[in-house]
Structure 1
């Protein structure tokens, strides 16, 4: 309980100070996204947070809004841009999430908040990830690979929620620069992972 109070205080103060410190970079990115990708500058989407409560996550846009002849958005891989890939690989697209942390919807460290469409596809153990707030820096940052499977990601997140502690947070926090380097080295910005619901539906159909 004491650590949770400390964690919230740390989240608020650190996010606020960091947002103030990087405000010139933040506004430069706003301008660059507007010029290169158009309007809107921000991408907002409903995500599932602590205790399965929904909130609006905000990021910088990394894709265009190109649509097919029927007015439907093209697949993600067709709407990616070189600049958007750079934002994702460098994690700069996630800077607006500092606002979510200040508001209290997210934490600096915690499971990555995912869309509600995934809510029905978690195992009982994986649902433990919702005992804590979603985070900007995920527990799987300590993994040696920038791109991991859904199963591996959820294993890290469930274990994190079960073993919430200052030591674990410090270990994950000091790996943040490693994960950013790994993302740039592996072209993470252009990686498109199969949606969880699609992957697990296919698995169920195969009887796995």
Structure 2
């Protein structure tokens, strides 16, 4: 779908630029809240895999206190999350700086969410197809369950999007994202701040196939 991908990049640049201008007061207020409650740095920066698995630096507002030198980052997430950070995450305001990634061409408004670099060798060949497009600020999996889904279900939805991406589908995802943000649905899995770590799998579970079928029906 090279023709649509070219159009999509133009839409991304225009929309991300307009979004940064329109949300400037919210960005400033969020930055001030992070500084007042957690100090510096204001932003969470981490390498994530982009198009073709190539690394880029993801930028988000910080939502957790910095971990101690002897503290496990993943195991201590719940204790390091601040009330301000929880609010930013539940409202997705922590994601606003990723519009900078969109302007840079590292991300798109819509696409599979960028995960961790260490997940790359853990994907099956089918799951790895999620990197055939730029990662997105939001995506098909985000409006079909977000972090309440299993990893297999999320990856099945991501690959379905890669094969069916279009302007009408992207508009549907963007509109659906607005509803999910206001409803604050699927923010995390029970017992986790977001999702447990993906450790890999031998094959997609039956639930992934069921989710893929529901995605094809437009669930």
What's the TM-score once normalised by structure 2's chain length?
0.83
Q: Residues 90 and 71 from structure 1, CA distance in 2 versus in 1: closer, same or farther, beyond 3 angstroms?
A: closer
Task: State the partner residue of 1:164.
Answer: 165
Task: State the partner residue of 1:96.
Answer: 97
What is the CA-CA distance between 1:78 and the residue it aligns to? 1.5
Structure 1 runs of 4+ with >6 Å offset: none
Deviates more, 1:70-79 or 1:44-53: 70-79
Task: State the partner residue of 1:42.
Answer: 43
What is the CA-CA distance between 1:62 and the residue it aligns to? 0.2
What is the CA-CA distance between 1:142 and the residue it aligns to? 3.0
Deviations 1:129-160 (A, max 9, x none): 11100000121133156621111111110010
Q: Residues 145 and 96 from structure 1, CA distance in 2 versus in 1: closer, same or farther, beyond 3 angstroms?
A: closer
Task: State the partner residue of 2:210.
Answer: none
Secondary structure at the residue paired with 1:112? Answer: coil
The answer for unaligned runs of 5 or more in structure 1 is: none
For the 8 Å contact 2:187–2:194, the answer to whether it is kept is no
- 1:125 is aligned to 2:122: no
Deviations 1:37-87 (A, max 9, x none): 11100000000011111100000000001416x466561111111111111
Task: State the partner residue of 1:23.
Answer: 24
Aligned length: 199
What's the TM-score once normalised by structure 1's chain length?
0.88
For the 8 Å contact 1:37–1:64, the answer to whether it is kept is yes
- 1:195 is aligned to 2:201: no
Deviates more, 1:143-152 or 1:153-162: 143-152
How far, CA to CA, are the matches of 1:91 and 1:175 in structure 2?
Answer: 14
Q: Residues 123 and 186 from structure 1, CA distance in 2 versus in 1: closer, same or farther, beyond 3 angstroms?
A: closer
How far, CA to CA, are the matches of 1:27 and 1:132 in structure 2?
Answer: 31
The answer for unaligned runs of 5 or more in structure 2 is: 204-219
What is the CA-CA distance between 1:12 and the residue it aligns to? 0.3
